[in-house]
Amino acid sequence: MKLLRFGPAGQERPGVLDAEGRIRDLSAHVEDIAGVAILPENLERLTRIDPASLPLVEGAPRLGPCVAGTGKFICIGLNYSDHAAETGAKVPPEPIIFMKATSAIVGPNDAIEIPRGSQKTDWEVELGVVIGKAAKYVSQEEALDHVAGYCLINDVSERSFQAERQGQWTKGKSCDTFGPIGPWLVTRDEIDDPQNLAMRLEVNGRRFQNGSTATMVYGVAYLVSYLSQFMSLQPGDIISTGTPPGVGLGQKPNIFLKAGDVVTLSIDGLGEQRQDVVQG
């Protein structure tokens, strides 16, 4: 299934994409794509609903973040060896973990706001993992059983806030609009291998990132297991798993986003995003 949320910000309704790529309203069956709704047994119940029996949503409504009620937005740094190399960093011996504020979460096609004082707002196409069942001290072999599905994420980053303003990376990752998520939550059964997905990102039509999840240092199952050793993972939590090379910081000379730019990104099977860049 491709689950989604549509409507004005803060008033989104749950939906599902039908075989023709049209939005169907799930409101009669689930309150939201969040919490208990994405437990394995409830996702199984939703798969038994014929999308053609659901009300068709007319027009082209705004798409909101594909999951609501996210408690933790966990990011993995330097998880592609070629990306680490382009930024002059070494591949870490264990995953680098940092948090992105949940207030950064927006819909997949909402605008990116350049924060006041920013000179180095950057892009990062990433595979997102959405937890569907609580995980604590789980093994790598059991880890994917706790995943509801996958989504596309742009881990927007302000590099000077991140690396030049002291402290940890969170302040450069958490600005409002820095977490576009969606367009849909693709349930785990639709993705045969999360470690074999092509990913790409363009700015103003120029391709900058053209990678694959196959080159991750630490794969999805490892990350879920690893994180669960340090914190419990809850339904709706999101793990953003790192980015391949081609970020603005890696260009010579550096290239960063400015008002008026248009960012487009996609991952095979997970849809596309498009963001206009505006001054915040």
Per-residue pLDDT tens digits for 81-131:
877 777 777 788 999 999 999 999 999 999 999 999 999 999 999 999 999
Do 252 and 165 share a structural domain? Answer: yes
62 lies in some domain: no
* Closest C-alpha among 56, 10, 52, 48 to residue 32: 10
Peptide bond preceding 183 in cis form (omega within 30 of 0): yes
- pTM comes to 0.95
Do 49 and 77 share a structural domain? Answer: no
Q: How many domains does the chain have?
A: 2
Place of tokens 């053609």: 52
User: How much is the pLDDT for 218?
Assistant: 97
Number of H helices, E strands in the chain: 4, 18
Query: Are 176 and 194 contacting, i.e. CB atoms less than 8 angstroms apart?
Result: no
Do 137 and 19 share a structural domain? Answer: no
Domain that holds residue 7: 2-53
User: How much is the pLDDT for 189?
Assistant: 95
Per-residue pLDDT tens digits for 129-146:
999 999 999 999 999 999
Long-range pairs, 158-165, Cβ under 8 A, ≥24: 158/115, 158/118, 158/120, 158/121, 158/122, 159/120, 159/121, 159/122, 159/248, 159/249, 159/256, 160/118, 160/119, 160/120, 161/115, 161/118, 161/120
Do 126 and 14 share a structural domain? Answer: no
Amino acid at 110: D
Query: Are 123 and 207 contacting, i.e. CB atoms less than 8 angstroms apart?
Result: no
